[in-house]
Amino acid sequence: MRWNRSTHRPIPSERGRRVAPARLERTEVPREGLSIWQPIHLGVDENSRPVHITLAERNLLIGGEPGGGKSGALNLIVGHAALSPDCRIVLIDGKQVELGGWAACADIFVGPNPAAAIVQLTRVQAEMDRRYALLLERKIRKIPPGDPRLAPIVVAVDEVAYYSATVGTKTQQAAVTALLRDLVARGRAAGVITVAATQRPTAEVVSPSLRDLFGYRWAFRCTTPTSSDVILGNGYAKQGYSAVDINPAARGVGWLLAEGGHPRRIKSAFLPDEHITALAQVAAQLRAHRPLPPCATLTGPSDSDGT
Ligand SMILES: Nc1ncnc2c1ncn2[C@@H]1O[C@H](COP(=O)(O)OP(=O)(O)O)[C@@H](O)[C@H]1O
Ligand SMILES: [Mg+2]
């Protein structure tokens, strides 16, 4: 079977011709890598059409009950980012193993350490402020593509509630919440792309005002219409866009809402561990070959980071 690279669908074979076995095991990464400015492949819609989103200048909120497919979705995005040498990557993962496969490609990796999460998110915030000062000086309103000193920074957080409501002191939890909110609220024009997942879609973890700052929202299976609405937006469940109806066995199925549109039911693509390992190796080589210039604001003495 031959595959059409742009549609990711098989090319119909001529009648009567023998069909060769698919060579799906081949990893097709362009030599120069991908770009964070390109659309990111997320999966297929109900008509089997590929679904892409462009994350540059956007943020993405992912929510749903455990086992729905949130970490799988995060891995698709972090995978694209890792293979894009034109962006920086900050990974915050309380479980460590969900995003750990990409650690060698990340500029910053934070495990289950709330103090380290605060240190690193504060650095991203400082870099955001530095960029806004620069934009003001240059009299432009957003970062232009192609400037390595202003490379987009993808901040991926797996399980926001772990840092904002579970571990650490109340002060630390409030600090993480405030930092994330600021990055989501002001990050767009400065090139900070926040992708946050939560398995506790409640208004305490994701307030409506925070949710509304995310241009993209992706709800995997939820247990109540309220929690589905916490992710997608108030009133969607009543209109029929409810993540409660998703079959618990249908892992990776969710409603994706993009700015200005209606939610679309999609089935996410999935990277098994061995694909992540192989892709992360390619990504690390690409990044070593085309390094971004050092960024003083984002780096600091690693011994005090506690990451
Ligand atoms: N798109 C998918 N296709 C097939 N299986 C999937 C998909 N997404 C997730 N899964 C399966 O479901 C399991 C749980 O997914 P995961 O992303 O870890 O859920 P969550 O982070 O929401 O708890 C995965 O280990 C995998 O086996
Ligand atoms: Mg998970």
Atom of ligand 1 nearest to the CA of 197: 21
Rounded to the nearest integer, the mean pLDDT of the chain is 90
| Residue 301 confidence (pLDDT) | 60
| Residue 20 confidence (pLDDT) | 44
Cβ 270 under 6 angstroms from ligand 1: yes
Q: What separation in Å is there between the alpha carbon of 273 and the centre of ligand 1?
A: 12
Q: What separation in Å is there between the alpha carbon of 252 and the centre of ligand 1?
A: 6
| Chain mean position to CA 234 | 23
Q: Which domains does the chain have, with CATH numbers?
A: 53-286 (3.40.50.300)
Nearest by Cα to 251 from 65, 48, 49? 65
Cβ 198 under 6 angstroms from ligand 1: no
| Residue 276 confidence (pLDDT) | 97
| Chain mean position to CA 145 | 19
Q: What separation in Å is there between the alpha carbon of 70 and the centre of ligand 1?
A: 7
- Phi and psi, residue 12, nearest 5°: -60, 135
pLDDT of 35 > 50? The answer is: yes
Confidence of residue 7 (pLDDT cuts 50, 70, 90): low
Cβ 252 under 6 angstroms from ligand 1: yes
Q: How far apart are CA 69 and CA 84, in angstroms?
A: 23
Atom of ligand 1 nearest to the CA of 220: 22
pLDDT of 295 > 70? The answer is: yes
Cβ 67 under 6 angstroms from ligand 1: yes
What is the average pLDDT across 79-108?
97
Side chain identity, residue 291: P
What is the average pLDDT across 65-87?
97
| Residue 30 confidence (pLDDT) | 78
| Residue 201 confidence (pLDDT) | 87
| Residue 32 confidence (pLDDT) | 85
pTM: 0.90
What is the average pLDDT across 36-63?
96
Cβ-contact 87, 244 below 8 angstroms: no
Residue 109 backbone zone (phi > 0: left; psi -120 to 50: alpha; other: beta): beta
The pLDDT > 90 percentage for the chain reads 82
Q: What separation in Å is there between the alpha carbon of 175 and the centre of ligand 2?
A: 23
Cβ 44 under 6 angstroms from ligand 1: no
Cβ 291 under 6 angstroms from ligand 1: no
The continuous run of DSSP H or E covering 253 comes out as strand 253-258
| Residue 118 confidence (pLDDT) | 98
Q: What separation in Å is there between the alpha carbon of 131 and the centre of ligand 2?
A: 32
What is the average pLDDT across 294-305?
72
Cβ 268 under 6 angstroms from ligand 1: yes
Atom of ligand 1 nearest to the CA of 68: 22
SS3 content of the chain, % helix, strand, coil (to 5): 35, 20, 45
Q: Whose CA is nearest to atom 16 of ligand 1?
A: 69
Task: Identify the nearest ligand to the CA of 93 by its number.
Answer: 2
Which one has a higher pLDDT value, 300 or 55? 55
Q: Which of 41, 61, 65, 71 to mutate to test the pocket of ligand 1 (most atoms within 8 A of CB)?
A: 71
Q: For Cα atoms 72, 74, 80, give the angle at the middle one, nearest 5 degrees.
A: 105
Q: How far apart are CA 4 and CA 291, in angstroms?
A: 32
Q: What separation in Å is there between the alpha carbon of 195 and the centre of ligand 1?
A: 17
pLDDT of 136 > 60? The answer is: yes
| Residue 306 confidence (pLDDT) | 47
| Residue 40 confidence (pLDDT) | 97
Q: What is the pLDDT of residues 156-189, one digit of tens each?
A: 999 999 999 999 999 999 999 999 999 999 999 9
pLDDT of 49 > 60? The answer is: yes
